[in-house]
């Protein structure tokens, strides 16, 4: 079933190439910035940092959280992120960059095994990284085979009758790896396709007409 879902989504939406042009550090920030908000905000905020030549851990470390908040306060996105959350994100990004430098950067962190790296990410003081964000960082920055569980995935798989929808995060993540090869490219593309599907058709109010998963869906 999961293989068929992937094939049908891929046929409908094609290659997503998610974050393929990001450096590992940019992919980490993209995941951090998307937490509790939306990918469109994350993308726009990264562009802002790039515009101010601040897409580097050392530059972020030298910049005040107040200045970062000004840069991260992306125009045209107040409907998807509040001013309070922008301030929180600025502090998060700064804490993360400080931690990243202290750890020796990508070169040292990539030596850690997947479990140690995941636990390390989840326990960074003041960064507030949740499980979904840690998994995004593992998959997109460190190229580790982690299946991403987020609200979109839960909603789509629930509607397809695959899950109850309220299973714990780690249980679902593990469950997916029982039915899929632990393949970085597959997990990368699968998550991107599910995110695309959640925007195109399987929104909170589903738009089922012409849905590419219609034949598989009991809804």
Quote the least distance from Cβ 218 to ligand SF4, whole Å: 8
Check: CB of residue 147 under 8 Å from CB of residue 190: yes
Among positions 154, 159, 173, 196, the unique one binding ligand SF4 when judged by CB under 6 A: 159
Q: Which of 108, 151, 182, 214 binds ligand SF4 (CB under 6 A)?
A: 214
End-to-end distance of the chain based on CA atoms, in angstroms? 16
How far, in Å, CA of 89 to CA of 70, rounded?
11
Q: How far is the CB of 204 from ligand SF4 (least distance, A)?
A: 10
Cβ proximity to ligand SF4, 125 vs 210, nearer residue: 210
Cβ 203 to ligand SF4 shortest distance, Å: 8
Handedness of CA 182, 140, 126, 45 (dihedral sign): negative
| Residue 144 backbone zone (phi > 0: left; psi -120 to 50: alpha; other: beta) | beta
Q: Is 211 one of the binding residues for ligand SF4 (CB under 6 A)?
A: yes
CB-nearer residue toward ligand SF4: 88 or 159: 159
Judged by CB under 6 A, the chain residues 184 through 203 that form the site for ligand SF4 are: 201-202
Q: DSSP letters along 94-115, please?
A: HHHHHHHHHTTHHHHHTTS-HH
Contact footprint for ligand SF4 (CB under 6 A): 156, 159-160, 201-202, 206, 208, 211, 213-214, 217, 219
């Amino acid at each position: 079933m999961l293989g068929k879902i992937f094939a049908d989504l891929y046929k409908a939406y094609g290659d997503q190439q998610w974050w393929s042009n990001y450096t590992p550090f940019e992919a980490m920030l993209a995941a951090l910035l998307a937490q509790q908000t939306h990918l469109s905000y994350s993308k726009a905020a990264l562009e802002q940092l790039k515009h101010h030549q601040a897409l580097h851990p050392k530059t972020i470390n030298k910049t005040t959280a107040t200045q970062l908040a000004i840069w991260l306060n992306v125009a045209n996105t107040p409907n998807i992120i509040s001013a309070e959350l922008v301030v929180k994100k600025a502090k998060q990004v700064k804490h993360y960059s400080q931690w990243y430098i202290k750890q020796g950067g990508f070169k040292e962190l990539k030596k850690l095994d997947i479990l140690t790296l995941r636990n390390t990410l989840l326990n960074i003081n003041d960064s507030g990284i949740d499980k979904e964000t840690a998994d995004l960082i593992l998959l997109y920055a460190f190229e580790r085979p982690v299946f991403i569980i987020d609200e979109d995935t839960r909603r789509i798989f629930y509607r397809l009758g695959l899950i109850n929808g309220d299973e714990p995060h780690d249980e679902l993540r593990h469950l997916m790896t029982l039915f899929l090869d632990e393949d970085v490219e597959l997990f990368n593309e699968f998550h991107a396709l599910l995110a695309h599907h959640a925007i195109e058709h399987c929104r909170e109010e589903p738009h089922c007409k012409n849905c590419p998963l219609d034949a598989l869906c009991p809804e």
